[in-house]
Structure 1
Amino acid sequence: MTMQTRNQQLVTVIVILAISVTVLVVVYDVIAQTYVLHNHVRHNDVKRTRDVKLLKVITPASHHGSSLNNTFVSHGLMGRLGNVLFQYAAMYCIAKRNNLTPLFSDPMELKNVENPGTLVNYSVYLSKKSRTQLLRERFCCSYDNRFESLPNDHNYSIYGYFQSWRYFEPCKAEVLEIFKFKKKYVEEANTIIGDLRKQLPNKVLVGVHIRMEDHTSERATRNGKQIAPPEYFIRAMTYFKNRFHDVRFVVITSSQEWWLSNVTRSDDVVFHNRTQPAVDMEILSRLDHIIVSVGTFGWWAAYMNNGVVVIFNDCFKPGSPYGNQFLHNSTDYFYPGWLRM
């Protein structure tokens, strides 16, 4: 065998090896991106997977019928209604600001929303050579400006709760349009509100939301979560009674006995028995004004309400694990104009 023949064979082997490595890299990319997209919630928050149904990926309805960008940003959407709304809103606006296609898993909580998005075939994204970069928020309740500018030459899978209005303020009108509840929930809320207006004509109706259940556990207390005390509700109610004439308070809570024992048995309070979360949020958002305690559910009811919002200011213990998530700057969490008590 001549030296030239050996060199040719060596070149052939090198070329074959190079092609094999390239194929392996492409296959790895596809597998890695598929894993990130399908297991995003599972490997980040195992305890929440019962609330998330990872069956399909959606993109906001405003993209329907238009061309989608070649690179995406995805989120696993974890938790219940309030948490999911924060993550969806943040993801939608982050994608829009960075010219990325937003891809979401399809949690059961979004079944309450009239038109959360349009099904897309995401296999086209998984075939891209660029890898998916996983980005985690630094803190759950403070704004992380890293998400303002993301190069759109590759994909992102982001993880976090994104509980700051600053993530989606540039897209507020679109977010509120997306978060309109399904007709059946709106109609049920209309009936309840209509009955209240008939029973209490010419009254100023102030919604009151009390969240206690998962904020009173030993773990929640240890992490620094605090519930609103009776004094908070008394101060908030006094504020509205001093500001408006003929006020009635519509209390939505699963802790009615706690209210009656600790706050007031006054006849200016009406209790609404909790129904579907979407119905309760729709009612709270449509009453004249609102008082909220703690939790993301009440936060969103307040955000959707066009009246005066009073919110509990001390939802966390300073210096606690939970309190540190606010970076001692809770203005990222509390919306401007809300009255903090």
Structure 2
Amino acid sequence: MKNNERRILVHLRGGLGNQLFQYATAYALAKNNDAELIIDNREYKKYKLHGGYRLNNFCIKGREISIKDKLLLPFFLSTLAWKYNFLARRYNFFVRSFRRYCIEKFGLPKKIESSVVLIGYWQHAEYFKDFYKDLVDIFTPTCLPEDGIKQYNKIKSVNSVCIHIRRGDYISNPSALKFHGVCSLDYYKKAVNYINKKIKDPVFFVFSDDREWCDINIPFIFSDKIKYNLVNKNDQETDLWLMSKCKHHIIANSTFSWWGAWLAQSSDQIVVAPEPWFDIDIGIKSPSLMSWTKFDK
């Protein structure tokens, strides 16, 4: 039985990768406090980028926000708390007056005694690493297409290496480009050469949101002797699941590919990640694990 007085309400923002970080952090906090987990997806009534709200396509535990919850926790207060999460140092006193709001800038509490609202992106495995096995099950798509199963069988039959190329709004949105930057061809060349020296007979599976770019540039990343496959025509959930079934990973500075690598953990896994993760320092640490190999992006 959950403690009726303890509720974790997580305010979701961003694309699928961000939603997974926010949910995983809330899930771990709820489990550690015997609390009810509530998903606040109100942001997605207006936010249509990256496919909108997507957690309902996984085996999620917890419930979506109710009408009663909405009355007790007005949307404008969560929006205001998000705003001051980015200005927390300047508005320290104001933010701390929102006692029921756990704002990322001030860290995550270990224990709670009543209802709280999580505000932040929470992009660090330390928040939920103890629940790895749970999250592997939870972040399994509820429906896998037949073609996805065929791709999975191919991935499992070889020494598979996932390579994720993230472009999309990192290119089309000037603000996103300035903040995130994109991984260069040189980054992918170095990562592929590194993997090729470390692993016997690797077969690369390329996942990307920009197939046209890949068709033009992929030949410059791989030599003629290297085997690779372009994976496409899947929904986001299927692609993430397939990425997590690869044995090794070359990721972009993307929360989506971060999850593909983290969910695939094994004793001999090699993960290559870009550095720096962000092009602008706003006080958010890179989510890359210490065990991952880093190359300049």
| Kept after mapping to 2: 8 A contact 1:274/1:280 | no
- Pairing 1:100-249 to 2, within 5 Å after superposition: 100-105=35-40, 108-118=53-63, 123=68, 133-138=100-105, 145=107, 147-152=108-113, 154-185=114-145, 188-195=147-154, 203-216=158-171, 217-223=173-179, 225-249=180-204
Give the TM-score, by structure 2 length: 0.74
Conservation of the 8 A alpha-carbon contact between 1:282 and 1:301: yes
What does 1:34-45 correspond to in 2, within 5 Å?
none
Alpha carbons of 1:287 and 1:181: their partners in 2 closer, same or farther (altered >3 Å)? same
Q: Which residue of 1 aligns with 2:84?
A: none
- In the alignment, the residues of structure 2 paired with residue 272 and residue 82 of structure 1 have an alpha-carbon distance, to the nearest angstrom, of 19
Any gaps of 5 or more consecutive residues in structure 2? 45-52, 73-97
Consecutive unaligned residues in structure 1, runs of 5 or more:
1-65, 139-143
The aligned counterpart of 1:309 is 271
CA distance change for structure 1 residues 120 and 215 in 2, over 3 Å: closer, same or farther?
closer
SS at match of 1:240: helix
C-alpha distance in structure 1 between counterparts of 2:181 and 2:120, whole Å: 21
> Do the aligned partners of residues 314 and 234 (structure 1) sit closer, same or farther apart at CA in structure 2, a change above 3 Å counting?
same
Structure 1 segments, 4+ long, off by >4 Å, are: 118-127
Query: Is 1:81 the counterpart of 2:16 in the alignment?
Result: yes
CA radius of gyration, larger in: 1
Q: Shift of the alpha carbon at 1:125?
A: 11
Q: Which amino acid in the other structure matches residue 129 of structure 2?
A: E
- In 1: Cα distance, 2:190 partner to 2:256 partner: 22
Aligned partner of 1:168: which letter? F
Residues 170 and 195 of structure 1, relative CA distance in 2, 3 Å threshold: closer
Aligned residues: 253
Q: 8 Å contact 1:69–1:99 — kept in the other structure?
A: no
The percent of aligned pairs where both chains have the same amino acid is: 22
**Deviations 1:36-76 (CA, angstroms, capped at 9, x unpaired):** xxxxxxxxxxxxxxxxxxxxxxxxxxxxxx34432212122
Mark the CA change 1:269 to 1:103 in structure 2 (over 3 Å): closer, same or farther.
same
2 CA distance for matches of 1:115 and 1:80? 16
CA contact (8 A) 1:97 1:148 kept: no
Could you say if the C-alpha distance between residues 121 and 109 of structure 1 is closer, same or farther in structure 2, counting changes exceeding 3 Å? Answer: closer
